[in-house]
Structure formats: structure tokens, C-alpha cells
Homo-oligomer: A and B are copies of this chain.
């Protein structure tokens, strides 16, 4: 069976600063039509940043959609000034943590929830960090603090419900795999 669906028409509902919303009419594989609500969202970069003490960097910030303070890996939208997803992540690591990393590796790229949104994330691993003296400013509406945690501490925080987002849980699992298999990114 050919599972491909085709767009018949699309109605723009909202054009915002971060998200756009459209309702699209599509043709199903059986020829019938159906409606899909689609949220467009800019792509973002995120990083597993590990220091020399084998601790991972998390940032604490308020997330209004869930009205919670969360601990997440550093991440941010890729904007027009960024030459690439990696460039965006280097900027975010500076802004959110105040660090430069000398070793970088791309882990993967993925969609957050492709059933309703095209938001894409580029995930990197980095280490060999240096604290910067010329840290860049956060965005004016961005408030966060940064913290370092060992894998054991991360697992405890996750069990306590303090780590609640997909990318950070995935990052923890990837890092644990790297430690378990001795597959240090640099080898």
C-alpha cells in the first residue's frame, strides 16, 4: 500500500514570532480527504556538554507551556545570523553557559513530534570546555541559570521529576551509552 498523502489546500490561521499554525486539507491513501492541524516552528540546536569532571551541563528555566521550572540541556533556536546548526549551538553554549568547547561531534538530528509540528533539533556532543571571560548576553526575555551534574545525579533528578523533556532524557541515554561502551566521542 502506498501510504503517501497529498496536500489539497492549506489555510493559514496564525503567523507568530515563534510558531505558525495552518489547517491543511489532505488526500488520504484511500482517496478520502482529511484535515491536519500543522504547527510550523524554527529549527533548534542542543548539546550534551561534558566537563573534565565528567559532568553534563543543564540550564534551569521557566517553561510557561507547562508552568514548571525545568532542567534541560542547553539549546536554542537557529537564527539568520547562524551559519549552521553547529554555529548556533556554539553561540548558545556561550550565551547560556558562558563556555567555549574545543571538541564537537554531531550526534543526530530529529523532529520533536512530527505528528503535528515540523520543529527539528540538531543534537551535538562537546567537551574540552573553557570558561569565557567575554560571555554573550542572553536574549532580553530569557532568564536561566546553569548547573553541572554527574550521570548519577542526572538519574536522581530524572526520578524526582526535575528533568521532564524529551531531548534531555535522550541526551542522558546517549551519554550513558557512550560511557557504557567506552565510546568516547573522540575515539
Contact = CB atoms under 8 A, between A and B. Distances in A.
B3 A17 contact: no
B5 A64 contact: yes
- Interface SS of A by simple majority: mixed
B3 A61 contact: yes
Interface residues on A, range: 35 or more
B65 A115 contact: yes
Copies per complex? 2
Contacts of A181: 180
B21 A14 contact: yes
Contacts of A140: 32
Contact of A165 (B23, B60, B114, B165): B114
A133 interface: no
Interface string A99-126: 0000000001111111111110100000
